[in-house]
Amino acid sequence: MAASERIVGRGIGNKVILASVVLVAIVWMLPIAWVLILSFKPNSELMISTASAFHPPYTLKNYTDIFQTSGVFRWLWNSAVVSVGVTVGILILSSLAGYGFARAEFKGRDVIFILVLLGLAVPEQAVIIARHQIFSDLKMHNTYPAIILPGLSSAFGVFLMTQYFKAIPKDIDEAAMLDNASRFKIFWKVLLPLTIPAQATLGIFSFLGAWNDYLWPLISATKPEMFTITVGIASTQTNFAQSEGLGFLMAQAIFAGLPVFVVYLFFQKYIVRAVAGAAIT
């Protein structure tokens, strides 16, 4: 809000810049607008040409087809289960571990913390072959736990929560210790409520990540009824020409994108903060 913010760009130059960014933004939106329009066109027309996009007839058939024929609802449900599972799991594990690494001393703690931090450098792709093998050996593929559990091993949340717990003044828990409260009680009643902003950041970040994850669910869930929405939409995409057609494919994309987009519109500020905060920590 400071007036100084605006000193960099002022006057006419400022307006020109803003106008050109508006122009770029319109171009940025074009691909989505294009798909949105086409999704209301009858399939028979689309197969011949998309040139008629701006003339009637328009139809809702592509959308009503979703309700009748596709697995979209099942996939949305699977995505919801998986994303909530990953998010809740990460929040619980990271909060406990974050408190532990920041406050509860035990022998070898700092060495273990450094080893966990090294885990941040391990990309999913480096372990995915072995992970697949582990879940194969356990005969667990095509189950919710198989899709959820690998996400819980990520060191990122632990790192974030540890930093956050460390930033809380020590006087707060020392006062509680004098009251003879147990470690867990201090964690649960005194410190955890103070970490709600970090929980929100980590929660949003984890949920979006799990919702949009493609590689692991693609490998682990091979039965259509266990697909997440991301994998499901991809599966219709690879054989769209033969079966359902373009219009149906686009209607599915719009329909599947809608929930996330609505959530984004409502929680925009928090989502931006979560994703940006997650990248720099």
Q: Which is nearer to another protein, 60 or 170 (CB)?
A: 170
Q: How far apart are the first and last CA of the chain?
A: 26
Q: Which amino acid is at 126?
A: A
Of all residues in the chain, what percent are helix, strand and coil, respectively (each to 5)? 80, 0, 20
Q: How far is the CB of 128 from another protein (least distance, A)?
A: 7
Q: Which is nearer to another protein, 174 or 225 (CB)?
A: 174
Q: How far is the CB of 114 from another protein (least distance, A)?
A: 11
Q: How far is the CB of 64 from another protein (least distance, A)?
A: 19
* Cβ-contact 135, 76 below 8 angstroms: no
Q: Which is nearer to another protein, 56 or 129 (CB)?
A: 129
Q: How far is the CB of 21 from another protein (least distance, A)?
A: 5
The Cα–Cα gap between 236 and 69 comes to 12
Q: Which long-range contacts (CB under 8 A, 24 or more apart) does 76-82 make?
A: 76/229, 76/256, 76/259, 78/144, 78/221, 78/226, 78/227, 78/228, 78/229, 79/211, 79/228, 79/229, 79/230, 81/144, 82/144, 82/147, 82/148, 82/210, 82/217, 82/228
Q: Which is nearer to another protein, 60 or 276 (CB)?
A: 276
Q: Which is nearer to another protein, 47 or 60 (CB)?
A: 47
**E-state strands within the chain:** none
Q: How far is the CB of 226 from another protein (least distance, A)?
A: 16
